Structure 1
Amino acid sequence: MFELSHQSLLWVQALGFVSMAVGWWANAQKNDQHLLSGNLVASGLTAIHLGLLGSNLGLFNQLLNMVRFAICRNRVSRTKRCSIYLPLLFASLAFLQGLLWANHWAEWCAVASAVLMSFALFYAKGAQLRIAMLISNLLNLALSVYLLSWSGIAYQVITILILSCALLPLKTPNYAAKPAA
C-alpha cells in the first residue's frame, strides 16, 4: 500500500462516500434492473476508491463487478450456453485475481464474495439475488475493515441493513379478524 497525503486521502475517502450513496440508492430499489444499474455505477466509483487506497485486488474485483453488472443488466434472453459459461468465467477470473493479489484473509473474503456474485447475478432474481448480495456484503466488510475504508465500512453495514429490511416479511395487523366487543 502506498502513502497518500492527508488532503489526498480525504478526497479518496470522499469518492468512497459518493460511491456509497449510489450503492445505497441501488440496493434500496425494488426493480432488479435499477439494482443492477446502480451497482454498475457504484462499482466503477469503488474501483477508483480502492485502487487509490492501494488495493489492486479491490480495484480489479470492482472492475470485474462492473462487467458482470453490465452483462446481467443488458441480457435480454438467458441462453443455456451463457448461463453455464459466463458465471464460470467470472468465478474463475475472481479466483485468479485472488491468486495474483490476495495477501490477507480479508482479501480472500472479497474473492469469495466475487465468486458468489458470479453465479448469483446470472441465476438469482428478486429475494434470492438480495440474499446473495447480503452475504456478499458481509464478506466484503472484512476487506473494508482491513483497508480502513471509512466509506466501505459504512457502506457495507448500511447495505446489510437495507437488504435485511427488504427481505423481512412485512406483517400488518389484521384488524378485520375480530369484531369489536
Structure 2
Amino acid sequence: MGEYRAPKGRERLNEYFWFCLNHVREYNKAWDYYAGMSERQIEQHLRSDATWQRPTWPMGFWKTRERTMHDEAMRQYGFHDAGEGGARNGAHDGHGANGSAANRMRTPEEEALSVLDLAPPVDFSQIKARYRELAKIHHPDINGGDKVAEETLKRINQAYTTLKASYGG
C-alpha cells in the first residue's frame, strides 16, 4: 500500500508517486534533484537558493537609490536643490519656493549630530567623547530622577546609536 509520497520530478515537486516504505526508500536513494543539469546550472541554482530565489543587489544599492529618489522628490516639490545639498546663502536656486537649506529635510545623521551639538566634519572619536560628556550631564541619577533629563538622555542615546551605525564605531 502506498503511504509515502515522493516527488515526480524537479519541475513537479508538488506532484507525487505513492510508495510503500521499502519502495520509497529505494526511490529516494536513486532520485537526483540535479540530474540532467550542468555544473554551471547547479551552481546557479545553489546561489539562487541562498537568497530564496529572490533577486539581490550590491550592498548599499538601495540606500543610494532611496537617497536619490528622496532628492528627486525634494527637488520636484521645490524644497531644496538636492543635488547641491541645498542652496547657498538662501538665494533662489530656480528649483523651489526660496531655495533655503532650512526647507530641506535633514538626514537621520544630521539630526543626530544636531542632538549632540556637533557639526560635520567629525570623526567617531569626537562623537564618542561628546556622547560621554552629554550622558554625564543629563543622566537622571545625577539629576535626581528628573524626567526631562531622562528624556534628553534617551534622545542622546538614540543619536549616538544612529551615528555609531553610520560611522561604523
TM-score range with shorter-chain normalisation? under 0.3
Q: Which has the higher contact order (CA 8 A, sep 6+)?
A: 1
With structure 2 as the length reference, what TM-score do the two structures score?
A: 0.26
Higher alpha-carbon Rg:
2
